[in-house]
Each structure stands twice: as structure tokens, then as C-alpha cells.
A and B are shown apart, each in its own frame.
Chain A
Amino acid sequence: MMPGVTETKALRPWSGDRAPADWGLGDGQAVPWEYAPAPESKDVVSIKPRYGLFIDGREVNASDGGWFKSVNPATEEVIAEVARATPADVDRAIRAARRAQKTRWGNLPGRERAKYLFRIARILQERSREFAVLESMDSGKPIKESRDVDVPLVANHFWYYAGWADKLEYAFPGRVAKPLGVAAQVIPWNFPLLMLAWKIAPALAAGNTVVLKPASTTPLSALLFAEVCQQADLPAGVVNIVPGPSDIGMHLVSSPNVDKVAFTGSTGVGKLIQKATAGTNKALTLELGGKAANIVFEDAALDQAVEGIVNGIYFNQGEVCCAGSRLLVQESVQDALIEKLKDRLSTIRVGDPLDKNTDVGAINSKAQLEKITELVQAGVDEGADMYQPACDLPERGYFFRPTLFTNVAQSHRIAKEEIFGPVLSVLTFRTPDEAVEKANNTPYGLSAGVWTEKGSRILWMVRKLQAGVVWANTFNRFDPTSPFGGYKESGFGREGGMHGLHAYVKLEDR
């Protein structure tokens, strides 16, 4: 037991305005006040009972007439039924994409492609509230995040790449950038619409057409996006969306008729997808898992660091590939930091994703909740000390309390495996070298955080950390102009910025 680290608390509901002394919140500290419900209205979005596939510009049923249900993870209620694509449907979508690429989109001057993308960006801005509400309902993420982070970034992403469509010659000096052809894209459930934007915007800007498979638990925002494509009068077949289970994704990326494969998801599935492209000439980019270290030095501004740590691991319920799931804190400030962190955790509001006050929403699915529960149990079993703030969880839906583990060893599963949940593992270090060694001691290499007031140390850490994104004195920031992607087993290729274009072009001599 490290000094100053309190034991795991038994969880019990509370009432009144003072925290019980045994919560470790400090003597007489005020506990968070009650919030009146502030629900976002569902009426802003009209949800159809059924959504078809989006192939060749039209909404169609699956060839075998199959449907699956998309469930609201916060209520366990069915939101809508979605057509379940078959391999034949995927093949049809690929043919439509090929036709569109050859006959229309690939020949369209860049400046005309740009205008379609600008249209899409504008429509997304106009309909942002619909998208935010639907996204929160389908994925479980707080409306605060879908409204203020996901959807604005989505519109901005299309806006950014729209402007590249007619300027490719300036992105690749000395070369002519040609589209690859048809892109097969498979995206995850944690940022359903944002990952769609990261995939589709650069692909279209460069003159490719796409067949995209959204995750089976979060297909709805992609199908609402299909409406945006129609509203923008995007030529038929340029964007095709085929929801379905994972084997549909494998069928899509394995097709000999696609030229490019882009995947965001787990490292395990990423390896399977890389295998599916083995021996072919398909271009491939993979954005896979992570186990990021968030490193706090003793000279850091601790209050700001606490905010960054909380944002790093509890943003989107921790269901973030670049989440700062390992806190590496310098021993000399460990006690102070943990105390502040626990204070801060007690103010986190877990609950209805559609409530505008909610900080942590619902876990995306029952399966994911079970995985988080299993790994947290493993943390307890392996001897780490668990802390969870007392907070009431809704009776229905898939929820998990923000969780903090101290006394964590590098060998613990919670320090090695990607949990993809609101679970932070705290480890300590004494010297910068030790911090680097521990931070890099993982097959992953997606992101890292550094907190220190010393500029030269930041840049030294930046050089040493094996991670595609390093946030210094901040965490979990995203921008369309900023390349994102991993080192090592977190994948290869970049999304965002000029580098994101590279994944969707072949370079020829002038």
C-alpha cells in the first residue's frame, strides 16, 4: 500500500450535501450539488423505423431481406431496424462505386469535387443538432461531446478536405496525385460519424469512391449521412454504406475489386485485415488500439494536469483508442495528484447521454460492458487498489463508474491491455528515463501525454516517446489539419492533414 493512497471504498448511495468522511474526499469537503435534469430533445431528429442500405445513391433492402436492430445502450431500447448487408450487397456496392469512379467522380475536375464536399460540410453544420442527438442515442456518448466535439469536427473535416480536392498538385510537389479507385472502409463504434468523416472526406477529395461499413452497434449516423449525400446531389455510387456484422467487413476488404483498404478498430482485427490484403497491391492504412501513457512530472501544473487526465481517460467513457489509460506520475507528486484526482472524480456526472450535464454516458454495448467489467475484476484480482467515486447509475442501460487503480504493476492486465472503458491505471516513476521506458513498454504506440512546465523536457520527451500523437500539457485534442495515427502495433498511415491525403493517392511522374 503506497502512503497516501486510500483503500478501495465500498460503494453506497449518498444523500445530503456533505461527503461521508470515509470517502476520502477530505474533511468537510462539499460534495457536488444535485443537478436538475437537462435533457436534450429527441424531437429534433426524425428517426425512421427502418433504414436500408445505401447503394448507388438509393436506399435499398438487403438482398436476403435481413434486418438487425440498433439499440440505445442507455435505455436498451431498439431505436430502429437496419438492413443487414449480404456479401452480394457488398459486391453490388463495390460495382456501383467502381462505375461511379470510372464514369463520373474520377473524371470530375477537382474544383467540382470540392464543391460537393463543401456542400456536405454545410449540410452537416445545418443539421448538426440532429446528428448530435442521433449519435448520442445510438452510441451512448454524452450529448455534450457529440454536440461540441464529434459533429463540429465532422463538418470541419469535410470542409478541410474539400479545399484540397483542387489543390492536390501542391500537396505532392514533383508528382501527379491520382486516385487509387475504390476504397473499402471499415469503422468502429466509438466515434461513428467522426470516423466516417475521417475516411470519406480525404478519399472523395482525392477522387476515389467509397464503400463504407459502419459498426454493427452504431450504424444510424452513417445512414443519416446517406441522406446528406442525397441532399448534396452527390453523384450516385460515390458513397455507399453497407451496415452489417464483422464478416461483412472482412468480405468488403477481401474483395479483389477494391484498391484501397482503410480500417479503424482493434489491433486484433487490424491484423486480420492486414492478412486479408497480403500478397495484393491494395493500399492499406490501419488505425488500431492504444494504451497511452499520460506522464505527469513533479513541476507540472497539477490542477490542469488533473483536468487533462480526466479528459484523457473519461472522455467518451474511455472508449477511445488514444485514451490516456496509463497515468505515469512522478513519485514526489503522487499523493497530491491522486488526492486531487479523486476529488475531481467525485464531481463527474454519469448517466443519461442525452442530459446536457452528463460527463460520462453509456458504454456502447453489453459486450463492451462485460469486457470492461472483466478487466476491472482482473485488476482487483491481481492486487491493484481500485477506487470508484460513489455515484448512482441508471437502473437500465450499460453504465460503468469512472474507475481509478493505484498500486498498478506493469505486468498487470490493466496496465497492458486496452480496456476501452473509463478505467485509469496509475503507475509511478522517478526519472525521465524511467518514464520513457515505462511509457514505451507496450506493443502499442498511438498517443502519449506529457505534463511539465519545462519546455526543453517536453521536447526531449516528444523525441523519446514512441507515439504518433504527443499531447503536451493537454490531451485528446483533434483537428482536421492535424495528422493522427500510430507507431508500432497501433497501425500505420495517418488521417487528417496533408498526410491524410497520402493514403488515398498514387503518385505518378509528371
Chain B
Amino acid sequence: MAAPRRSRSVTRASSNGRTPATAGGRVEVRKTYKLYIGGQFPRSESGRSYVVGAADGTPLANAVRASRKDVRDAVRAARNAFPGWAERTAMNRGQVLYRVAELMEGRRDQFVAEVAQAEGLRDDRAREVVNRAIDRWVWYAGWADKIAQVLGSSNPVASDFFNFTIPEPTGVVGVVAPEPSSLLGLVSRLAPPLVAGNAVVVLASETRPLPAITLTEVLATSDVPAGVVNVLTGRKRELVPVLAAHVDVDALDVWGVPDDLRKDVELVAADSVMRIARRPAGVTDARFDWLDDRASERPEWIAAYLEMKTVWHPIGV
């Protein structure tokens, strides 16, 4: 490993983070990290980027610094993709998300290397994190065709009507991803709205965005329809207020919003009666243990992005 550098120029970026840039005399092909909008991998229309460093400060790559226009493009892509995703059969949605786990498994080493670099973890620890992220997709994917049975109901009204309640996806969900947990935290917050049938716009961890971008490469090849997941990288302080003010965003996960920004963000979101999904009281982004399955695998997190629809019909001949 090269010594940490503080230079603003990118001097070392590696697809697996461990190979020296010129191992065996071969010059490595470095990866360009881009946005993921509507199934495409555009750069920001703004042409901006920012330097992303490893946990030890080593510069890793120039990540795209998305603009407010990119946010709007992503929301539009999500809105267009939403009806098709919502109307997939529940079993199909479950299979599509399970496939994400399958493809992540195949690229595990790449994720391990990126997470190790981004989060400053030893390889064995990073491997555990990646394993858990894969397993989390499996856990949430299984809910696709069960959540309606757990959260829905048939209601015994005191009159001659048949009455039932079914959950439906809320619509377009903004997910401000956890900041420290670049992959496992993201997957744990992304899978719940997705399995419910929502389309999602993710603002990735600002300081550790690269595993999220690699995840989009998995999503792009795993039958998740274009536009159902859109991932932006950039400055949260710049982008979160734009996402929160967008009236076509129906729900917002503020988990990864900096604490001093949360009130302003929620004030703006209230203008469109946006649903807000918060961290549980007393939980901090910095301290949350994403390896705790019990804490991170919660049907309530799916329910946060569901609307309950109640239907009445008379009974008679």
C-alpha cells in the first residue's frame, strides 16, 4: 500500500484497491465512477467532480458532484419507472431483488476491496460487511410477496359490506444514505422502499460514495428496471434540500441527513406533505450497528413506504 497522500490530485485509483497501479508491468485500467439515472451512467450535466479519499485519506477517484438538475432528472426517471415496478407481481419483485444478491455474490471481492478502502476496515471485517449486505437483500427480497399478508387486513365492519385493506407503494422515495456505512447501510435503507414497489432516488454517502456506484453496476445488470433505482453522488448539503423540495418526491428517508440540516429539510418537505422516514429516536448515524440483523431487518422499514388502501363493497344478491 502506498503511503497516504493528501494531494488533491488523484494519484491512485484501483478497481480492487490492493493491486499496485502498475503490477507486473501492466498499466491497470481504472474505473470512472458515474451517476446512475434512468438505467444510464451519465456524468453530471454540470461537469463537476470531487475527490474521494480512502478512510486513510488516500485519494481514490474523482466522483461526480451531481447538480440540482441531476436530482430533477433522477426524480423524473423514478416517476416514469414507478408504475411499471409497482405493478409487477410481488413474487417477481422478490425474484428481481434476490437476483441483486446473486450478482453481488459474484462480485464480492470487488465490494470487499472497495468497502475496506472506503471504511478503513480490515479485509475480514469488510468481507463480513459485504456478506451481510448480500444477505440483507435476500432477507428483504423475501418480504415482497408476504408484506401484504402481514400488514393487510380484512375488516369485520358492523354492516353488510365486504371490507379489506391492502398496502400499496407510496411512489417516488428519496433515500439519503447513511454516511459511514457505504454499502451495508445503503442496502439496508434501499431494499425496504424497493421491495415495497417504490422507485428510489439515492443520495449516496458523500465521503464514501464508491461502493454505491459499484452497486449500481450490479443493479443495471440484475433485472431491476431502468429508473427504479437512481443513484447520485455529491454534496448532501447541496442536494438534499433540492430532493426534499421536489413535489414529485413522495417520501424521504432522512437517515443520512446531517443532524444540523434535518430540520430545514423537513420544513421544506412539509410543503408537499412528504412522508418522512427517520432514524429511531436516540440512534445516531455514526454509531448504528448495521451488522445487527435484528436492528436492520425490520418490516416497519418497509411499511414506512406503503400506503394503506381500504376498499368497501356491499354484500347482497
Contacts and interface: CB of A to CB of B under 8 A. Distances in A.
Interface of A: 156, 173-175, 267, 270-271, 274-275, 277-279, 281, 286, 288, 443, 458, 462-463, 467-474, 477, 479, 481-485, 487-492, 494, 497-499, 502, 507, 509
B310 interface: yes
B163 A462 contact: no
A156 B158 contact: yes
Contact of B307 (A275, A281, A487): A487
Interface string B231-267: 0000000000000000000100000000000111011
B157 interface: yes
B127 interface: no
A374 B139 CA distance: 55
Interface string B269-283: 111110100100100
A481 B314 CA distance: 16
Nearest to A462: B311
Given A267-B273, A491-B273, A483 B308 contact: yes
B308 A499 contact: yes
B312 A468 contact: no
Contact of A485 (B87, B308, B311): B308
A175 B275 CA distance: 23
B312 A474 contact: yes
Contact of A281 (B278, B294, B299, B314): B278
Contacts of A275: 266-267, 270
Contacts of B303: 502
Contact of B309 (A270, A467, A477, A509): A467
B155 interface: yes
Contacts of A470: 309-312
Contacts of A173: 150
B300 A497 contact: no
Contacts of A270: 273
B165 interface: yes
Interface of B: 87, 150, 153, 155-159, 161, 163, 165, 250, 262-264, 266-267, 269-273, 275, 278, 281, 294-295, 299-300, 303, 307-314
A482 B155 contact: yes
B2 to A, nearest CB: 43
20 contacts: A270-B273, A278-B267, A278-B269, A279-B266, A279-B267, A281-B278, A281-B281, A286-B273, A463-B87, A468-B307, A470-B310, A470-B311, A471-B312, A472-B312, A479-B157, A481-B156, A481-B157, A484-B310, A488-B273, A499-B165
A442 to B, nearest CB: 13
A288 B272 CA distance: 12
A267 B275 CA distance: 14
A477 B312 contact: yes
Contacts of B87: 463
A463 B262 CA distance: 34
B273 A482 contact: no
Contacts of B309: 462, 467-470, 487
A279 B279 CA distance: 11
B158 A274 contact: no
Contacts of B312: 469-472, 474, 477, 482
Contacts of A489: 272-273
Contact of A279 (B262, B271, B272): B262
